[in-house]
Structure 1
Amino acid sequence: MGTIFGKQTVAEPAFEVLYRQTQQAYEIRRYATRFAASTSTDANSDSAPFNALARYIGVFGTPENQGRTAISMTAPVVKEESSGSSQPEAMAMTAPVVKTPSDPNGEAGMVMKFILPAAYDSMEKIPQPTNPRVHIEEIPPAVGAVHRYSGSFDDAVSRNKARWLAQQLREDGVDITEDYAVEHYQFWGYNPPFTLPMFRRNEVWIELDATQVDQIVNGKGGAASSTTAVN
């Protein structure tokens, strides 16, 4: 019942907050290395990639991985634009689910990723997918700007949020263009589709380089804090 009202019941990766802009509602976060299961699609629908990843971790019946390991769900689920015989194991789900659309006009496909639980901290520990469309990838350490909002999962909405975030960063002294933001942002989703839109935790993430981080963190001076995974 709580998930309908936005209660988060799955873990998410730990991160450090380097700077928080409370007036404009964004923060600069640092993440360590993470691992993700990912898949891509040429379609605009989220259902096919989500279902493939959900089957990999064992949401729907027997997990589609070597060893049949059930893997816990985590958050967020990530969406981003794309440029193009042992016993199976089940995994816990984490958050977010990451989604990256591949083309600002919605003509190309997109990549969706499930961030894996912190216990899977090396390739050797991760059950390999049996579906050839699902891949395991290592996400290197990164620092980026994050804006949190509620409401629709729609790609057009997240794209506009990325434009807005780039504008706020520019106003705070960061050298970043709108084109870069639209081409490189990721949508991070923390809630299931049945969560009421007003209670959803959605985020857009734009990765920053060392110079951009210095421009905002040292230019504004923010107190660092950290968060740990939600159990």
Structure 2
Amino acid sequence: MSKELMWWVIAVVAVAALGVALWGPILSNVEQPEYNVVESSGSIEIRDYKPMIVAEVQVSGDRGEAIGKGFRIIADYIFGNNTAAQKVPMTAPATQQGREKIAMTAPVTQHGGGNGWTVRFVMPASYTIKTLPKPNNPAVSLKEIGAKRFAVIRFSGMGKKDSLIRHTKKLNDFINAEHLTPLSAPTYAFYNPPWTLPFLRRNEVMMEVYGDPPE
């Protein structure tokens, strides 16, 4: 192989690799839920989210298996499997929450419901519950969610079980230190397509909370 051809091949491979690296973040540059940051501390924020509409599905199985299953069902709805055969713009993140109960007087969760999960996509803000096309699949539900306050920790990587557990503990420690009351089980939020490089990924653990951070 000549030097010129070798350098041409290297250049093509480099450009292709860069394209793969950037493709995930580019595709993730979509509409996201609106919120105001009340307080920040490193990778943790307290956010006030505005009301939103979500499409959700109940799935069971291992956490990784469940998010994939739920994603496919809701993606089928927004890609046109609805009464209007209409595409709904993709948003980020996709969220996943275990069916858990939580003690309202202390930051301790009581796990229940086995391996059941709720997977959600937030619908674009331009829609109302009346203007969104209705799902053909009865497993998909459209719900209006009121304004809520969340404590959120952000991190990169693959969002595997150990990482989720570790960051959930950090978030719980922060909630304790801020004297906030948790109102929900942890919600896992994933912002990127599966082919996004780990260090470019945006993942979050979110917990609805009540109370104001200390001055």
For normalisation by structure 1, the TM-score amounts to 0.73
Which residue of the partner structure matches residue 206 of structure 2?
205
Aligned partner of 1:80 in structure 2 is: 97
* Aligned position for 2:120: 113
Counterpart amino acid of 1:166? N
Match of 1:33 among 35, 47, 51: 51
Fraction of identical pairs, as percent? 27
Partner of 2:145: 139
AA at the equivalent of 1:140 = G
**Aligned amino acid, residue 92 of structure 2:** A
Q: What residue number does 1:66 align with?
A: 83
AA aligned opposite 1:9: N
Q: How does 1:9-24 map to 2 (within 5 A)?
A: 9-22=29-42
User: Where do 5+ consecutive residues of structure 1 fail to align?
Assistant: 85-102, 221-231
Matches within 5 A, 1:180-199: 184-199=185-200
Task: Supply the AA of the counterpart residue of 1:71.
Answer: V
Give CA deviations for 1:188-219 in whole Å, capped at 9, x if unaligned. 1110110011110001111111xx2x2x1xx1
The worse-fitting range, judged by mean Cα deviation, of 144-153 and 6-15 is 6-15
The question of whether the paired residues in 1 share the 8 Å contact of 2:100 and 2:111 is answered with no
**Structure 1 residue corresponding to 2:71, chosen from 50, 59, 62:** 50
- Residue pair 1:162, 1:206 contacting (<8 A) in 2 also: no
Q: Tell me if the contact between 2:100 and 2:185 (Cα under 8 Å) persists in the aligned partners.
A: no
* Structure 2 gap segments, 5+ residues each: 1-18, 102-109
Supply the distance in 1 between the matched residues of 2:40 and 2:205 (Cα, whole angstroms): 15
Amino acid at match of 2:93: P
Please give the alpha-carbon distance, in whole angstroms, between the structure 1 residues aligned to 2:97 and 2:137: 20
Counterpart in 2 of 1:152?
A: 158
Pair 83,147 (structure 1): closer, same or farther in 2 beyond 3 Å: closer
> 2:132: which partner in 1?
126
Displacement after TM superposition at 1:34 (Å)? 0.3
* Partner amino acid, structure 2, of 1:65: N
Aligned-partner Cα distance in 1 for 2:77–2:86:
9
CA drift at 1:175: 4.2
CA contact (8 A) 1:38 1:113 kept: yes
